[in-house]
Amino acid sequence: MNITTRRNLINTALTVTAGGAGIALAAKLLDHNGLLPPDGGGIYGPGRSLSYAAHRLLARNSLAREFSRDQISNPAHANGKPIKAPEYLRHQAEGFGNWRLQVDGLVARPASLSIADIKSYPSTSQITQIACEEGWSSISEWTGVRLAHILKLVEIRPQAKFIVFSTIQRSRWGALDMNDALHPQTLIAYGMNGTDIPLANGAPLRLRVPRQLGYASLKYINHMTVTDSLESFGKGLGSSASEAGYSWYAGI
Ligand SMILES: Nc1nc2c(c(=O)[nH]1)N[C@H]1C(S)=C(S)[C@@H](COP(=O)(O)O)O[C@H]1N2
Ligand SMILES: [Mo]
């Protein structure tokens, strides 16, 4: 789809929505083009759908801003305290040697990756900002492997549309579409500011999605499932954040 076609599609969706009877029609149009987010229903649905569609159509390959070393926040920020669940404390006592990232779903080669496995892959670093929906922000250097690299290793099937992430905190989970999943700045990170990720920042493994608000960058991840539909996950809204009333897609 070229840029004019994309703009036209958005204009059509906007016109149809503004036309009153058109919300359902606009949703159908976006759905048909793979542009309806999982939380696109309800009273906030049309706004969410159009903002998601606009990002995907007009800013598909955009990069999040990267900063220089002297802009790194000092002291480093952490949102919340290290978690205290016995299961987590046990992993911590074992130096995270038994932590695994399970990868399954629509893949040719399901995997169970240790931190050592993940550290053996080509690493990349970025100095990016975490912007929290609560109003603060913090800049850190993140080191890890591109999520795209892992998805290539496990050979995702062509029907793949979303990657669902679980964390050791059962109440925190989320999903990325393939555009964010394959984006070069989306990392499975194990390092922060030159050392292993501190406990409060999501040790030993977290997602970094610098094109979305902080809540998309899930900490303590241990499982990812490749799927073509989010319907069977939780309430079908795509994340614990959207179940709590935030937008599933938090593009910035
Ligand atoms: N598992 C898990 N991931 C999480 C959170 C959380 O509470 N649990 N908080 C999110 C929110 S709201 C933000 S803003 C960032 C904060 O990351 P930081 O603690 O490294 O600053 O992590 C996100 N990822
Ligand atoms: Mo946040």
- Give residue-wise pLDDT tens across range 113-156: 999 999 999 999 999 999 999 999 999 999 999 999 999 999 99
For ligand 1, atom 10: residue with the closest CA: 215
Cα torsion 111, 115, 121, 124 to 10°: value is 130
Q: What is the mean pLDDT of residues 23-33?
A: 77
Distances (CA, A) of 49 to 14, 29, 79, 116, 229: 11, 11, 29, 40, 17
Rounded Cα distance, 29 and 33, in Å: 7
What sign does the dihedral 118-121-125-131 (CA atoms) show?
negative
Token pair listed for 203: 């040790």
> What average pLDDT does the chain have?
92
Which pLDDT score is estimated for 221?
98
Which residues line the pocket of ligand 1, CB cutoff 6 A?
A: 77-80, 130, 132, 138, 167, 169, 172, 201-202, 214-215, 217-220
Which pLDDT score is estimated for 238?
97
Which pLDDT score is estimated for 13?
61
* 43 DSSP 8-state letter: T
Which pLDDT score is estimated for 9?
65
Please say if the pLDDT value at position 18 is more than 60: no
What sign does the dihedral 224-229-233-239 (CA atoms) show?
positive
CB 91 within 8 A of CB 83: no
**Selected residue with higher pLDDT from 22 and 79:** 79
- Long-range own/partner contacts, residues 114-119 (CB < 8 A, 24 or more apart): 115/190, 115/204, 115/205, 118/144, 118/145, 118/150, 118/188, 118/190, 118/205, 119/190
Which pLDDT score is estimated for 163?
98
Cα torsion 135, 139, 141, 142 to 10°: value is 10
Which residue(s) pair with 145 in the sheet? 188
pLDDT band per the 50, 70, 90 thresholds, residue 11: low
Express each pLDDT in 155-214 by its tens digit: 999 999 999 999 999 999 999 999 999 999 999 999 999 999 999 999 999 999 999 999
Q: For residue 50, what are the contacts with CB-CB under 8 A and spacing of at least 6?
A: 10, 13, 14, 17, 26, 30
Place of tokens 């900490």: 219
pLDDT band per the 50, 70, 90 thresholds, residue 29: confident
Where do the DSSP E strands lie in the chain?
101-105, 111-113, 124-131, 137-146, 162-167, 173-177, 187-192, 195-196, 206-208, 221-227
Please say if the pLDDT value at position 62 is more than 60: yes
Which of 56-60, 96-100, 152-156 comes out lowest in average pLDDT? 56-60
| pTM of the model as a whole | 0.91
Which pLDDT score is estimated for 96?
98
pLDDT band per the 50, 70, 90 thresholds, residue 19: low
Task: Determine the distance separating the centroid of ligand 1 and the alpha carbon of 215, expressed in angstroms.
Answer: 5
Pairing type for strands 101-105 and 221-227 reads parallel
Which pLDDT score is estimated for 20?
54
Atom of ligand 1 at shortest range from CA of 138: 21
Task: Determine the distance separating the centroid of ligand 2 and the alpha carbon of 232, expressed in angstroms.
Answer: 25
**Nearest residue to 133 (alpha-carbon basis) of 21, 243, 241, 50:** 241
Q: What is the mean pLDDT of residues 25-46?
A: 83
Which pLDDT score is estimated for 203?
98
**Nearest residue to 37 (alpha-carbon basis) of 221, 212, 214, 220:** 212
